[in-house]
Structure 1
């Protein structure tokens, strides 16, 4: 009978898990999706490139939404079992809460393993691939964005004009550039020819001009002068071309676990600060472990008797997710500033939720009433009714 019950509970968890994963991931992606869609509309970036960028940022979102979905799934599953009196029937048949924990433990371990894989391998890969893809896309758009016999103003502070552009090698002829990037002076640049030069290592794109002169108007000195050159480089700022799509990541977020360990060892040997690397190192373990502590808290909360199991489960999951990630954000910020050791800042939320989960689980397993939880639920219900009543009164004519 135990195996049948375990399979039944497992199926009850899987469906809301998939639903929660889809909903939470979509919610977190909305802002980024709008910015990516803007690139298609305003910058003419191909849809396939947008889908590629989306695949690179997905691991960072899934790393967060997998624990969130697991918490929601357990709360909803056990809430439904309790609301339909199935939990009472299972306990009457001799099954304790400890015996029902097996399918929950399986889900928690699977979610932990998936989140760990996302954190240790997938997210660093995605960050590196995103950085490279954005540079390649910006470089391509920089070349394609300059049209012959058109004044191009895609780059901040620059207006670029070229009489002829060779399509085969992006070489420009008879180039005119108005450079107003320096507020104290204005440069007008004339060149016989120019070419796009990219540097993937520094992720910079330069317009290298040849055989020309610069007419400078110095606003402070009130003087004008000309400078002749054989070669002159104009660095192009690509940020505006992909504004909003690029979220620059610190280098530690692009490193795998092994690379982080080597970076920490090398910096310590050189006497350099290692706070960013230590914070990222502990983050790769603390977030996956959140699946375990979420399961520990969700089971006793889910089995509490309530009628609206699904709505209560969703509300509780949002409250717990908010509390956990607020604690995590505070701990991470304090650790990055050196006010807390990284291990404390990143693991404190797990320690707090784990302690609360053990306490709730032990009392629920012994079928003791959670007085504090009932009081909290009553207070939340009263607050909800008051807010709904106020909204209804304001809406009434």
Structure 2
């Protein structure tokens, strides 16, 4: 009965610190991202609720990394507090071994692992797909509002748009004129009796789909200017949003934003073999291994944090927070090195990304064994002895 109560109390404290750590870290990262995307938000005139919605969609992308950090922080800080407050000493004096205390942190770490696995396999792609589609919908709505009937619009770089009639309900345009100067040395004047505004989520583009019109194309060459006239039944004018928002790209297909199924589709598709000299496909292979290894990091780092909390008994909580972050930075540096070496095909992705987990797991098991037998060295006592020795 006492052990069960102990586990509930420890689990409750772990859960509280985990939520606090995750919320704090996520808020800091999202604020930084907001500063990066300020041109996008200001250009669209988004309100607080709309920005909050976009941040919800961005959150899973960052949680893949932040959940292991928060898991390690919560376990480290809880056991550091228990160690500093002599609660662990009292429990041992009462006959409770370290192994009997492991149920709560192990179950908690496993739950964090399952949460990270969901984010890794489903949450990242769900969030990024919704983020892109929502941004495009805001841009499309703004585009409709900017296209006033009978007014020449030059808000889009390289394009001049004109529509005699604009129907905001069904996105239809009547008697459309487009002057396209997006390509150096080539200009095109497009006229069409009707058109419609659409979005291409996969490529992150706004489309002006025109019907039954003509293109008057002028190109400057060595032999002078050449003029071509072409008729079309359908034609798409594509708006490059990266120019509109100073380099921010929505439609680029990046492995770290793909779904688990899409990663395997790309891996099995022979057309991607020579894209970017095979570098793109190598990134896909690394991302697949990373999506598998990151959830396991929660369990590994959670176990690692327990014995090392004993080593810093007597350390203040804010210094404990710093130490936990230092340990995680060591882990993340190893992961980053493994990722970089894997992407340039110097090291197998499996070796580069699973080695940090394996190393920290071995250290965790060795540390638990030493802590259970009360042989784990106390860093604070060691530092105090050094100070006393220097005073002599």
Fold conserved (TM > 0.5)? Answer: yes
Distance 1:109 1:333, change over 3 A: same
Distance 1:77 1:34 in 2: 34
Residue 278 in structure 1 maps to residue 279 in structure 2:
no
Distance 1:208 1:296, change over 3 A: same
Per the normalisation by structure 1, the TM-score is 0.81
Tell me the SS of whatever aligns to 1:216. strand
Distance 1:76 1:247 in 2: 41
Match of 1:370 in 2: 377
Tell me the SS of whatever aligns to 1:189. strand
Tell me the SS of whatever aligns to 2:100. coil
Per the normalisation by structure 2, the TM-score is 0.81
**333-342 or 155-164: bigger deviation:** 155-164
Does the 8 Å contact 2:338/2:352 carry over to 1?
A: yes
Structure 2: runs of 5 or more not aligned? 388-392
Say how many residue pairs are matched.
374
Residue 360 in structure 1 maps to residue 363 in structure 2:
no
Tell me the SS of whatever aligns to 1:344. helix
Tell me the SS of whatever aligns to 1:196. strand
Distance 2:178 2:265 in 1: 46
Distance 1:233 1:132, change over 3 A: closer
Residue 350 in structure 1 maps to residue 357 in structure 2:
yes
Distance 1:259 1:161, change over 3 A: closer
CA-CA distance at 1:109 after TM superposition: 0.9
1:254 pairs with one of 249, 254, 258: 258
Distance 1:327 1:376, change over 3 A: farther
CA-CA distance at 1:288 after TM superposition: 0.8
Match of 1:313 in 2: 320
CA RMSD of aligned residues (A): 3.4
Distance 1:291 1:358 in 2: 15
Does the 8 Å contact 2:10/2:104 carry over to 1?
A: yes
1:315-371 Cα deviation digits (max 9, x unpaired): 012112222222212211221222111211221221222222223222222222437
Residue 62 in structure 1 maps to residue 63 in structure 2:
yes
Distance 2:309 2:256 in 1: 38
Tell me the SS of whatever aligns to 1:328. helix
1:282-322 Cα deviation digits (max 9, x unpaired): 22221111111111221112123544431122101211222
Does the 8 Å contact 1:143/1:196 carry over to 2?
A: no
Distance 2:202 2:130 in 1: 15
Distance 2:160 2:304 in 1: 59
1:246-304 Cα deviation digits (max 9, x unpaired): 48442574223x5655664x448998875344323222221111111111221112123
1:30-78 Cα deviation digits (max 9, x unpaired): 1223355654433224555433332222212222211111111111111
Match of 1:393 in 2: none
Match of 1:31 in 2: 32
Does the 8 Å contact 2:312/2:380 carry over to 1?
A: no
Does the 8 Å contact 2:113/2:298 carry over to 1?
A: yes
1:235 pairs with one of 234, 238, 255: 238
Distance 1:234 1:7, change over 3 A: closer
Residue 189 in structure 1 maps to residue 189 in structure 2:
yes
**70-79 or 140-149: bigger deviation:** 140-149
CA-CA distance at 1:108 after TM superposition: 0.7
CA-CA distance at 1:25 after TM superposition: 1.0
Does the 8 Å contact 2:76/2:305 carry over to 1?
A: yes
Distance 2:230 2:270 in 1: 46
Distance 1:98 1:164 in 2: 75
Does the 8 Å contact 1:165/1:172 carry over to 2?
A: yes
Match of 2:390 in 1: none
1:139-195 Cα deviation digits (max 9, x unpaired): 33333333334442332322323444344544445555443322334x262625342
Distance 1:377 1:240 in 2: 57
Distance 1:104 1:228 in 2: 72
Distance 1:292 1:376, change over 3 A: farther
Match of 1:129 in 2: 130
